[in-house]
């Protein structure tokens, strides 16, 4: 099975969180999104740890990265507008990540429970 992992999963995996490791060991392919990759690299870049940015780029090289394309853009607009209408907005980054997952008709692997407020998005916790 192929899974789309979000930013918190990437962070948990690199920190050797037991739940993230268990999930990664059970899955054949783990993919992430361009948005999660950007968030992950940004966190490494602003870290006080020397060489973390290079290590983060190497770590991400093991994951196929799904782009944000025009179909994802249309889905994002629908998601953001619906959540705004209902008063349940989440971060724009997470709305973009969700749009990519919906575009590929796949679940998102995350500990962030707010993903469950997005209609049609399957969320797998670990």
Rounded CA gap, 68 and 40, in Å? 16
pLDDT of 17 > 70? The answer is yes
Rounded CA gap, 85 and 34, in Å? 27
Residue 106's domain spans which residues?
A: 2-124
SS3 101: helix
For residue 1, what pLDDT is reported?
63
In the chain, the number of structural domains is 1
The CATH number linked to 84 is 3.40.50.1010
Q: Which residues on neighbouring strands pair with residue 116, listed in sequence order?
A: none
pLDDT of 50 > 90? The answer is no
The pTM for the full model equals 0.93
């Amino acid at each position: 099975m192929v899974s789309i992992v979000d930013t918190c999963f990437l962070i948990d995996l690199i920190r050797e969180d037991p739940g993230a490791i268990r999930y990664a060991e059970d899955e054949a392919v783990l993919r992430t999104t361009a948005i999660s990759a950007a968030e992950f690299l940004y966190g490494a870049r602003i870290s006080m740890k020397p060489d973390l940015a290079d290590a983060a780029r190497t770590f991400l090289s093991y994951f196929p990265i799904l782009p944000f394309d025009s179909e994802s853009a249309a889905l994002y607009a629908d998601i953001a507008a619906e959540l705004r209408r209902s008063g349940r907005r989440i971060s724009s980054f997470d709305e973009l990540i969700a749009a990519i997952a919906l575009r590929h008709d796949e679940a998102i692997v995350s500990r962030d429970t707010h993903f469950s407020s997005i209609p049609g998005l399957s969320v797998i916790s670990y």
